[in-house]
């Protein structure tokens, strides 16, 4: 989603602002802009599309200011045109914004009635007019901003600079993250520490409702009530973790190939491999007394949760309620006493997941989160954090974060199963060994990558693709379809194999590839029957399985051979072929694999 940066520097900052924005590109955007204070007045440059367009604009018309803000915009209100790109400004004030100002309609109406003229379709522009209006009444920049912030509703982050103020920037956080970077006589602001990594590793995260006055000598932070507060300064690890593509063509490819290593790290955090035992941090709730686990997440993280449901119910015998966060939050389900609420999020900032977490807290649930960004809001608001150690995920399509989420959920299942007496020590040992073998099997699978290219060339010709799976492979079918549609733009749907005949089978003809995710487990024969139904209607079947193709009993267009593994760990392994199929199809089609159209990495609006 939108990225915000700001710098109070010693020399012209426009170049550094663009560099910082480049580090936020992974979040997804469709236009960009910067503004600086130049000889006392505000100047800006904006461009539609990628940052190179903004750079070209700056090359032709450079900005010289030493105080500036920058923005990558992911359109919510108004099309992704240059006119709607941030910063928004008038002669007094310039603003960049991430999130949504929910009451912008009523504020805009009131401002128009007062004679303000709006130039854009954005919600952000009201902030410019509100601050200017307060300044017109005689308030200074800080007081005008304070009053304006009090009138805004919604979830947002803001960075603001002012004409005539070369040593002032105001930052505000209400729902969308913001990090202040401390330099030597310079100050920085960014949507995350990754953006600021080239400049400083001394970071202060603003908390919910905080706003801050930045000057070159430091920052003064106020909480929601206006009281001055101290927030801790942390050493960011973003600098050392900053990634490039290595020898890979895309971040997505690199992240797919990192899976053996990051899954190993994640598992090592929760397993005592020497003793073949799971060792989970204390969740602060007696596992034997847990009445229900309520899982909530979005997109790929939700599919990880869905696998978790199959595991927790089967191995730990705990009832699991799971829902997409955007539904859960408004459904307001009744939740039992002694309930564990589990949230899964790579970014830890997803607005709907966060809102659901807060709802579950209000319902007195014990709150645990599986997150990749430990400093994120979801992590900070959880009673217990179960980190995934995937490292920064830059490709918009989630890959290694998904398999690391599965790794944590598998360990949690074992820990709860053992504590509840639903798995024996011998079973625990067997399952821990099975998990420990996953990285090696994935490394072997990845060596077979070239075989996916040919399959992908065929898939690229399809208009629609179906994915089928049963049991814990059903979420993999959903994930496979999501991966394919988001990066190749081919329409794809995942179905529970048994559900096919209740409707989707009408879609089957000789033009529709059907990818069947079917490990040879206790449900395999059921899935085989559904596959026959597809074959009987001329569907083109690609079977992803450890079973021999002879067992299919029908003609296969292709067979993706998988290693024999314990059925418990198969979701971790079967994630890889669906990722590779999607990746190579998108590469063949020439789409923007790492930053697919319309998508954002960190979804901080609902
Ligand atoms: C798909 C994808 C998204 C995210 C979803 C949740 O490849 O990446 O569906 O999984 O937006 O994001 P997080 O995990 O950051 O909460």
- Distance CA(234)–CA(238), nearest Å, equals 11
Residue 85 sits in the same domain as residue 217: yes
The answer to whether residue 114 sits within a structural domain is yes
Atom of ligand 1 nearest to the CA of 401: 14
CB 362: neighbour CB atoms within 10 A? 10
Name the residue with tokens 């959903």.
Answer: 478
Q: Which of 436, 463, 487 is the last residue of a domain?
A: 436
Residue 203 sits in the same domain as residue 111: yes
User: Residue 144 Cα, ligand 1 centroid: separation in angstroms?
Assistant: 37
Atom of ligand 1 nearest to the CA of 350: 16
Residue 350: pLDDT over 80 = yes
Query: Using a CB cutoff of 8 Å and minimum separation of 24, what contacts does 558-564 make?
Result: 558/455, 558/458, 560/451, 560/452, 560/455, 562/445, 562/519, 563/441, 563/444, 563/445, 564/520
Residue 10 sits in the same domain as residue 139: yes
The answer to whether residue 441 sits within a structural domain is no
Residue 455 sits in the same domain as residue 430: no
The answer to whether residue 131 sits within a structural domain is yes
Residue 411 sits in the same domain as residue 459: no
Residue 388 sits in the same domain as residue 530: no
Q: Write out the residue range of the structural domain in which residue 316 sits.
A: 245-436
3-state class (DSSP) for residue 285: coil
> Smallest Cα–Cα separation from 169: which of 98, 69, 75?
69
Percent of the chain with pLDDT over 70: 99
Atom of ligand 1 nearest to the CA of 378: 16
**Using N-to-C axis directions, what is the helix angle for 299-315 and 400-420, rounded to 10°?**
20
Q: Tens of pLDDT along 336-345? A: 999 999 999 9
Residue 214 sits in the same domain as residue 258: no
Question: Does an H or E element contain 352, and which?
Answer: helix 351-362
Average pLDDT for 239-268: 81
234 vs 370, higher pLDDT: 370
Q: Tens of pLDDT along 206-221? A: 988 999 999 999 999 9
The burial class, CB within 10 Å (0-12 / 13-18 / 19+), for 424 is exposed
pLDDT at 237: 66
Binding site membership of 32 for ligand 1 (Cβ less than 6 Å): no
pLDDT at 208: 81
Percent of the chain with pLDDT over 90: 78
Q: How confident is the model at residue 238 (pLDDT cuts 50, 70, 90)?
A: low
Distance of CA 402 to the CA centre of its chain: 11
3-state class (DSSP) for residue 297: strand
Distance of CA 154 to the CA centre of its chain: 20
User: Residue 266 Cα, ligand 1 centroid: separation in angstroms?
Assistant: 19
Mutate to test the pocket of ligand 1, among 305, 324, 346 (most ligand atoms within 8 A of CB): 346
The answer to whether residue 586 sits within a structural domain is yes
Domain count, the chain: 3
> Smallest Cα–Cα separation from 410: which of 317, 518, 307, 339?
307
- Cα 29 to Cα 349, 369, 603: the distances in Å are 17, 27, 11
CATH number at residue 209: 3.60.20.10
The burial class, CB within 10 Å (0-12 / 13-18 / 19+), for 331 is exposed
The answer to whether residue 442 sits within a structural domain is no
**Using N-to-C axis directions, what is the helix angle for 438-447 and 259-270, rounded to 10°?**
180
- Distance CA(402)–CA(59), nearest Å, equals 40
The burial class, CB within 10 Å (0-12 / 13-18 / 19+), for 564 is exposed
Residue 543: pLDDT over 90 = yes
Residue 383 sits in the same domain as residue 465: no
Q: Tens of pLDDT along 132-191? A: 999 999 999 999 999 999 999 887 899 999 999 999 999 999 877 899 999 999 999 999
Residue 132 sits in the same domain as residue 161: yes
Average pLDDT for 83-99: 94
Side-chain-side CA neighbours of residue 364 (13 Å):
6
Cite the active site residues. 2, 601
CATH number at residue 342: 3.40.50.10490
Average pLDDT for 462-484: 97
The answer to whether residue 240 sits within a structural domain is no
Q: How confident is the model at residue 28 (pLDDT cuts 50, 70, 90)?
A: confident
Q: How confident is the model at residue 596 (pLDDT cuts 50, 70, 90)?
A: confident
> Hey, what are 484's tokens?
């394919």
Binding site membership of 94 for ligand 1 (Cβ less than 6 Å): no
Residue 489: pLDDT over 80 = yes
Which residue has the least CA distance to atom 7 on ligand 1?
A: 397
pLDDT at 24: 86
264 vs 416, higher pLDDT: 416
Residue 383 sits in the same domain as residue 307: yes
- Distance CA(434)–CA(210), nearest Å, equals 46
Binding site membership of 298 for ligand 1 (Cβ less than 6 Å): yes
Residue 241: pLDDT over 70 = no
Question: Mean pLDDT over all residues of the chain?
Answer: 93
> Smallest Cα–Cα separation from 350: which of 320, 328, 319?
328
Residue 244: pLDDT over 70 = no
Residue 140 sits in the same domain as residue 269: no
Residue 408 sits in the same domain as residue 536: no
Q: Tens of pLDDT along 372-400? A: 998 889 999 999 999 999 988 989 999 99
Give the lowest-confidence range in 54-68, 88-102, 242-256: 242-256
Binding site membership of 301 for ligand 1 (Cβ less than 6 Å): yes
Q: What is the DSSP string of 520-580?
A: SSTTHHHHHHHHHHHHHTT-EEEEEESS-GGGG-S--SEEEE-----GGGHHHHHHHHHHH
pLDDT at 606: 72
User: Residue 300 Cα, ligand 1 centroid: separation in angstroms?
Assistant: 5
Q: Which of 235, 270, 296 is the last residue of a domain?
A: 235
Q: What is the DSSP string of 476-516?
A: HHHHHHHHHHHHH--EEEEEEGGGGGGTGGGG-STT-EEEE
pLDDT at 121: 86
Average pLDDT for 439-449: 90
Q: Which of 193, 214, 235 is the last residue of a domain?
A: 235
**How many residues are listed for the chain in this entry?**
606
Average pLDDT for 572-593: 97
Q: How confident is the model at residue 240 (pLDDT cuts 50, 70, 90)?
A: very low
């Amino acid at each position: 989603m939108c990225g915000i940066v700001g710098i109070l520097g010693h020399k012209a900052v426009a170049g550094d602002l663009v560099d910082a924005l480049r580090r936020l590109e992974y979040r997804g955007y469709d236009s960009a802009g910067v503004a600086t204070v130049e000889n006392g007045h505000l100047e800006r440059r904006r461009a539609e599309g990628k940052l190179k367009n903004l750079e070209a604009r700056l090359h032709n018309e450079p900005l010289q200011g030493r105080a500036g803000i920058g923005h990558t915009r992911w359109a919510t209100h108004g099309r992704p045109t240059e006119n709607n790109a941030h910063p928004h400004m008038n002669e007094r004030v310039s603003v960049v914004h991430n999130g949504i100002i929910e009451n912008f309609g009523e504020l805009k109406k009131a401002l128009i009635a007062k004679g303000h003229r709006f130039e854009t379709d954005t919600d952000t522009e009201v902030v410019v007019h509100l601050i200017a209006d307060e300044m017109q009444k005689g308030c200074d920049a800080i007081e005008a901003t304070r009053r304006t912030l009090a009138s805004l509703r919604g979830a947002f982050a803001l960075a603001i600079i002012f004409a005539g103020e070369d040593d002032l920037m105001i930052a505000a956080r209400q729902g969308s993250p913001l990090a202040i970077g401390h330099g030597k006589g310079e100050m920085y602001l960014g949507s995350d520490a990754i953006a600021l990594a080239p400049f400083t590793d001394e970071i202060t995260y603003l908390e919910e409702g905080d706003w801050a006055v930045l000057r070159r000598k430091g920052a003064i932070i106020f909480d929601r009530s206006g009281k001055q507060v101290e927030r801790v300064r942390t050493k960011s690890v973003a600098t050392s973790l900053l990634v490039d593509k290595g020898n890979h063509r895309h971040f997505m490819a690199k992240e797919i190939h990192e899976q053996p290593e990051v899954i190993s790290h994640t598992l090592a955090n929760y397993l005592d491999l020497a003793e073949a035992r799971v060792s989970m941090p204390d969740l602060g709730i007696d596992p034997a007394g847990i009445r229900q686990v309520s899982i909530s997440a979005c997109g790929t993280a939700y599919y990880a949760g869905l696998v978790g449901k199959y595991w927790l119910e089967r191995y730990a015998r705990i009832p699991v309620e799971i829902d997409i966060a955007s539904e859960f939050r408004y459904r307001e389900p009744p939740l039992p006493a002694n309930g564990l609420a589990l949230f899964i999020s790579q970014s830890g900032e997803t607005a709907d997941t966060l809102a659901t977490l807060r709802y579950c807290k209000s319902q007195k649930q014990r709150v645990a989160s599986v997150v990749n960004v430990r400093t994120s809001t979801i992590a900070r608001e959880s009673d217990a954090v179960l980190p995934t150690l995937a490292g920064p995920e830059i490709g918009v399509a989630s890959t290694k974060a998904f398999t690391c989420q599965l790794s944590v959920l598998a360990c949690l299942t074992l820990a709860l199963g053992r504590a509840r007496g639903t798995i024996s020590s011998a079973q625990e040992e067997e399952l821990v060994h099975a998990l420990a073998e996953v990285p090696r099997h994935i490394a072997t699978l990845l060596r077979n990558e070239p075989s996916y290219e040919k399959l992908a060339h065929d898939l690229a010709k399809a208009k629609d693709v179906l994915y089928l799976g049963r049991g814990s492979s059903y979420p993999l079918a959903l994930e496979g379809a999501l991966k394919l549609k988001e990066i190749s733009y081919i329409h794809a749907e995942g179905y529970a194999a048994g559900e096919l005949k209740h409707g989707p089978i009408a879609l089957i003809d000789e033009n529709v590839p059907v990818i069947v995710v079917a490990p040879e487990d206790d449900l395999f024969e059921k899935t085989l029957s559904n596959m026959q139904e597809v074959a009987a209607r001329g569907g083109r079947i690609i079977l992803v399985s450890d079973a021999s193709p002879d067992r299919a009993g029908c003609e296969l267009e292709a067979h993706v051979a998988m290693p024999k593994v314990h059925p418990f760990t198969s979701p971790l392994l079967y994630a890889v072929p669906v990722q590779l199929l999607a990746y190579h199809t998108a590469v063949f089609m020439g789409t923007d694999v790492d930053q697919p159209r319309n998508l954002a990495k960190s979804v901080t609006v609902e």
